[in-house]
């Protein structure tokens, strides 16, 4: 099989785990990790790595040609909370990197593209419960605007130039291996670290803020599944809704208290509350299930058990 993969943004929250998974599947030498800076020692030892700026078209093209890349996973992006602090920087990074990769595919230098979208494409006028695949979308964050615009361009490049681009609207992602960077859903990772370390957590969202979330293993499985399925099965070329679980800070607290009864939470909502309030509470992912067999496996209590067990071992 001629497949050779480039991951752009490989040192981030999803990129790190995606790189490890794809390397165990296809072999280390077939998966080129890249990022604007190096990863940790262990990561750097795990296979080929290139320093790569996702905004630099010539540099991406050079790496693609030198390594005879067929598939690109573009994981570099500025997330919702950080993007609000530097809107133009976020827009430039999120859009230019996407155009670079879509244009390489348009010029037939690569065969296939994975580009992550997000539940941030939805806004406060979207139905909040079981949000449908096709619905009102009026995102109010620069991150959400960039993801929604990106979705339109993905579909355009597929329709106009036949670019094989595949995408998922990720919910908040939770992992014990890597930390998230600058998102609104980050509290759901931080809370586990603080539960083990301090037995208490001050949450930047209020108790009732229900959001769609997913354990990282499920997200990686979905990402690889959508990229591996037959082209004919991909009926949606903007981005697929994807659902894992939904919970609010109070419910994740109750789940943690089953294993750490003395754990307490208090609330000091900040600017991220308004972002979270504009997003859905739960997602209807029936089209991903029907088209390419998506199925989530991990529930909130199962995730809590895995998170606390692994973070505890890390600290020992
Ligand atoms: C964020 O909170 O910005 C991200 C996302 C939902 O896309 N985790």
- For the cut 70, the answer to whether the pLDDT of residue 81 exceeds it is yes
**pLDDT level of residue 251 (50, 70, 90 thresholds):** very high
Using an 8 Å Cβ cutoff, are 64 and 110 in contact? yes
Burial class (CB in 10 A: 0-12, 13-18, 19+), 42: exposed
Pairing of strands 211-215, 49-51: unpaired
Which of 168, 169, 211 lies closest to 188, judged by CA? 211
In the numeric block, the tokens 């997003």 are attached to 279
Atom of ligand 1 nearest to the CA of 211: 6
The domain 174-213+245-315 belongs to what CATH superfamily?
A: UDP-galactose 4-epimerase, domain 1 (3.90.25.10)
Ligand 1 close to Cβ of residue 185 (< 6 A): yes
Ligand 1 close to Cβ of residue 239 (< 6 A): no
Lay out the sheet containing 172-174: strands in order across.
172-174, 211-215, 245-247
The domain 5-172+214-241 belongs to what CATH superfamily?
A: NAD(P)-binding Rossmann-like Domain (3.40.50.720)
What does the pLDDT average to over 225-243?
98
- For the cut 70, the answer to whether the pLDDT of residue 316 exceeds it is no
Ligand 1 close to Cβ of residue 184 (< 6 A): yes
- For the cut 80, the answer to whether the pLDDT of residue 314 exceeds it is no
* 5-172+214-241 against 174-213+245-315: fold identical: no
Find the 301 Cα to ligand 1 centroid distance in Å: 21
Atom of ligand 1 nearest to the CA of 81: 3
What does the pLDDT average to over 167-186?
95
Using an 8 Å Cβ cutoff, are 102 and 162 in contact? no
Which residues belong to the active site? 143
Find the 281 Cα to ligand 1 centroid distance in Å: 13
As a whole number of angstroms, the distance between CA 32 and CA 103 comes to 20
**DSSP collapsed to 3 states, the chain:** CCCCEEEECCCCHHHHHHHHHHHHHHCHHHEEEEECCCCCHHHHHCCCEEECCCCCHHHHHHHHHHCCCCEEEECCCCCHHHHHHCHHHHHHHHHHHHHHHHHHHHCCCCCEEEEEEEHHHCCCCCCCCCECCCCCCCCCCHHHHHHHHHHHHHHHHHHHHCCEEEEEEECEEECCCCCCCCCCCCHHHHHHHHHHHCCEEEECCCCCCCEEEEEHHHHHHHHHHHHHCCHHHCCCCCCEECCCEEECHHHHHHHHHCCCCCCEEEECCCCHHHHHHCCCCCECCHHHHHHHCCCCCCCHHHHHHHHHHHHHHHHC
Ligand 1 close to Cβ of residue 170 (< 6 A): yes
Give the model's pLDDT for residue 315: 61
Give the percent of the chain with pLDDT over 70: 99
- For the cut 80, the answer to whether the pLDDT of residue 39 exceeds it is yes
- For the cut 70, the answer to whether the pLDDT of residue 247 exceeds it is yes
Give the percent of the chain with pLDDT over 90: 97
Ligand 1 close to Cβ of residue 139 (< 6 A): no
Q: In the chain, what's the furthest Cα-to-Cα distance?
A: 58
Q: How do the domains of the chain map onto residue ranges?
A: 5-172+214-241, 174-213+245-315
Which of 198, 201, 177 lies closest to 188, judged by CA? 201
Give the model's pLDDT for residue 181: 85
Give the model's pLDDT for residue 313: 72
């Amino acid at each position: 099989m001629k497949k050779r993969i480039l991951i752009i943004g490989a040192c981030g929250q999803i990129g790190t785990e995606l790189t490890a998974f794809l390397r165990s599947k296809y072999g280390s030498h077939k998966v080129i990790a890249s990022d604007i800076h190096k990863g940790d020692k262990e990561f750097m030892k795990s296979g080929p790595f290139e320093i790569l700026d996702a905004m630099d078209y010539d540099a991406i093209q050079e790496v693609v040609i030198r390594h005879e890349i067929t598939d690109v996973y573009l994981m570099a992006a500025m997330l919702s909370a950080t993007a609000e602090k530097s809107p133009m920087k976020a827009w430039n990074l999120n859009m230019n990197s996407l155009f670079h990769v879509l244009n390489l595919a348009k010029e037939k230098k690569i065969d296939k593209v994975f580009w992550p979208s997000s539940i941030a494409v939805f806004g406060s006028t979207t139905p909040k419960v079981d949000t449908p695949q096709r619905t009102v979308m009026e995102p109010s964050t620069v991150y959400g605007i960039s993801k929604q615009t990106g979705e339109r361009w993905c579909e355009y490049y597929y329709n106009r130039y036949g670019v094989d681009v595949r995408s998922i609207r990720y919910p908040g992602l939770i992992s014990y291996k890597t930390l998230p960077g600058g998102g609104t859903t980050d509290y759901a990772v931080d809370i586990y670290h603080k539960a083990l370390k301090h037995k208490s957590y001050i949450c930047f969202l209020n108790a009732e803020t229900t959001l769609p979330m997913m354990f990282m293993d499920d997200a990686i499985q979905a990402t690889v599944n959508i990229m591996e399925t037959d082209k004919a099965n991909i009926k949606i070329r903007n981005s697929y809704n994807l659902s894992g679980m939904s919970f609010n800070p109070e419910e994740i607290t109750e789940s943690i208290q089953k294993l750490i009864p003395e754990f307490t939470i208090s609330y000091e909502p900040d600017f991220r509350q308004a972002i979270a309030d504009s997003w859905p509470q739960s997602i209807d992912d029936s089209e991903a299930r029907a088209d390419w067999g998506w199925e989530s496996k991990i529930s909130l209590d199962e995730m809590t058990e895995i998170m606390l067990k692994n973070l505890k071992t890390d600290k020992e």
